[in-house]
């Protein structure tokens, strides 16, 4: 069910017409649906609770997908944990009400200061991605007088069949520990005085629409778990990572959470392993859109351009990954349809949100860039000294500003010129 629908000829977020939001908050604006966010998480919770292997599972939302405090707080209220990749994300989730014992810390470059902060916070687990990181964590934990719970992020070398920039489980990836090296590194971890082996972690990629690679990866991970058990190393939890994709365009089929999880849970039945999941995009991607206004129409001999007030600094996925987002007129018109490149005002040829889109539009019209709830605002920048967009949450017929629009003065408030 989509929570963004046309009603009486106008696109709505839940019960609120998008033009009303534009009038009150301006554009560009990120707009999220509370109902869509809660429904996405609830789908995971329902599937897990219905399966014996998922009864005590923990869903740790991947904060990098969308780190707004209101989004984090909604998930925390529903009992979710969080997958973080920096000390900054740790402080964000704590500010949003996270339970420290539901936080897992991933990422390849954890600093000593970040490790100390996480140890002092009392997080659930560190996902270790290299031998050097393991040694550093042992040293930091010893200095703090603490024991660090760890799992190793193991690369099963499974091809997730997704964009190369978001394939993370192949042997050539910067992430994780090579499968063939994992047993030796677990032995080392077990021997270190300030380390406690807690689990095993696997994340093969993002935006996966075929659940088959998840099953293949799990088979390899479970074979390693059996080797660890034989070596006397007990694994308490299995972190299956995230990566389940969403539907960005009509020709894509979005897999259900049940079709993804149930085959995995079936393989885990009777093993006594606590399941940890790290969904990000799947929880927020289709729960948000980017609202923008057409500034000019610029016809040309080879192309027609619709120049909008949003840009690649607001939503970089089309420019960075060449990825598709549906672009819909907020108030559809009848008339001549033309193919437009939908481009922003940033001084880059690659500043586009969509190419050759069939649209019937005029200057001043509002457009909705759909499926923008994930890796939109969280990857936004101030390139060309552009303040980042306002963020709002729709809850039924109510609208809440959950992050105000930046001002230009704020962008250089921390800078100063040299003395005369």
pLDDT in tens, 374-416: 999 999 999 999 999 999 999 999 999 999 999 999 999 999 9
> How many angstroms separate the CA atoms of 36 and 356, rounded?
29
Domain-ending residue, one of 226, 250, 279: 279
Cβ-based neighbour number of residue 112 at 10 Å = 12
C-alpha distances (whole Å) from 106 to each of 118, 128, 182, 186, 380 are 11, 7, 17, 17, 22
For residue 393, list its beta bridge partners: 32, 400
For residue 264, tell me if it sits in a domain: yes
What is the tens place of the pLDDT at every residue in 126-179?
999 999 999 999 999 999 999 999 999 999 877 655 445 444 445 566 788 999
Residues of the chain predicted below pLDDT 70: 1, 159-173
For residue 327, list its beta bridge partners: 369
Same domain for 87 and 50? yes
Same domain for 217 and 350? no
pLDDT for the residue 339: 97
Residue 102 · residue 119 · CB < 8 Å: no
For residue 420, tell me if it sits in a domain: no
Which residue matches tokens 């987002």? 325
Choose, from 60, 144, 347, 360, the residue flagged as catalytic.
347
pLDDT for the residue 167: 45
For residue 419, tell me if it sits in a domain: no
For residue 416, tell me if it sits in a domain: no
Give the angle 130-135-136 at the CA atoms, nearest 5°: 95
Handedness of CA 387, 245, 308, 368 (dihedral sign): negative
Cβ-based neighbour number of residue 381 at 10 Å = 13
pLDDT for the residue 301: 85
The total number of structural domains in the chain stands at 2
pLDDT for the residue 175: 80
Q: Determine which helix (DSSP H) or strand (DSSP E) holds 297, and give its type and residue range.
A: strand 288-299
Domain-ending residue, one of 264, 279, 294: 279
pLDDT for the residue 165: 44
Residue 206 · residue 246 · CB < 8 Å: no
Same domain for 239 and 358? no
Q: Is-cis flag, bond preceding 187, omega within 30?
A: no
Q: Over pLDDT 70: what percentage of the chain?
A: 96
pLDDT for the residue 394: 98
Q: Please report, for the domain that includes residue 51, its CATH number.
A: 3.20.20.10
Same domain for 44 and 111? yes
Residue span of the structural domain in which 259 resides? 34-279
What is the tens place of the pLDDT at every residue in 346-366?
999 999 999 999 999 999 999
Active-site residue flag, 347: yes
For residue 198, tell me if it sits in a domain: yes
Domain-ending residue, one of 279, 296, 327: 279
Residue 332 · residue 304 · CB < 8 Å: no
């Amino acid at each position: 069910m989509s929570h963004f629908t046309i009603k009486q000829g106008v696109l709505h977020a839940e019960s609120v017409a998008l033009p009303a939001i534009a009038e009150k908050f301006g554009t560009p604006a990120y707009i999220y649906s509370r109902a869509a966010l809660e429904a996405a998480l609830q789908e995971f919770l329902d599937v897990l609770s219905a399966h014996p292997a998922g009864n005590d599972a923990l869903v740790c939302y991947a904060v990098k997908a969308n780190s707004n405090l209101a989004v984090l707080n909604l998930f925390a209220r529903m009992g979710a944990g969080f997958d973080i990749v920096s000390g900054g994300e740790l402080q964000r989730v704590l500010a949003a009400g996270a339970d420290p014992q539901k936080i897992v810390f991933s990422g390849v470059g954890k600093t000593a200061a970040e490790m100390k902060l996480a140890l002092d916070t009392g997080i659930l687990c560190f996902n270790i991605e290299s031998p050097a990181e393991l040694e550093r964590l042992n040293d930091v934990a010893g200095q703090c007088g603490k024991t660090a719970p760890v799992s190793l992020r193991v690369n099963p070398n499974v091809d997730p069949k997704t964009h190369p920039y978001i394939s993370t489980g192949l042997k050539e990836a910067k992430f994780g520990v090579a499968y063939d090296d994992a047993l030796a590194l677990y032995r080392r971890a077990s021997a270190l005085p300030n380390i406690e082996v807690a689990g095993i972690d696997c994340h093969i990629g993002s935006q996966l629409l075929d659940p088959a690679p998840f099953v293949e990866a799990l088979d390899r991970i479970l074979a390693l778990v059996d080797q660890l058990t034989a070596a006397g190393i007990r694994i308490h939890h299995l972190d299956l990572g995230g990566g389940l994709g969403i539907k960005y365009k009509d020709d894509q089929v979005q897999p259900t959470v049940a079709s993804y999880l149930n085959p995995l849970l079936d393989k885990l039945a009777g093993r006594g392993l606590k399941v940890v999941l790290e969904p990000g995009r799947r929880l927020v991607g289709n729960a948000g859109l980017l609202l923008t206004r057409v500034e000019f129409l610029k016809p040309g001999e080879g192309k027609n351009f619709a120049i909008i007030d949003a840009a690649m600094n607001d939503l970089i996925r089309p420019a960075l990954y060449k990825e598709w987002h549906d672009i819909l007129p907020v108030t559809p018109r009848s008339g001549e349809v033309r193919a437009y490149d939908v481009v922003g005002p940033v001084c880059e040829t690659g500043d586009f949100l969509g190419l050759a889109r069939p649209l019937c539009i005029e200057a001043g019209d509002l457009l909705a860039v759909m499926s923008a709830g994930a890796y939109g605002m969280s990857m936004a920048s101030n390139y060309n000294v552009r303040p980042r967009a306002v963020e709002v949450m729709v809850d039924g017929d109510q609208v809440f500003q959950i992050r105000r629009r930046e001002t230009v003065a704020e962008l250089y408030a921390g800078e100063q010129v040299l003395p005369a």
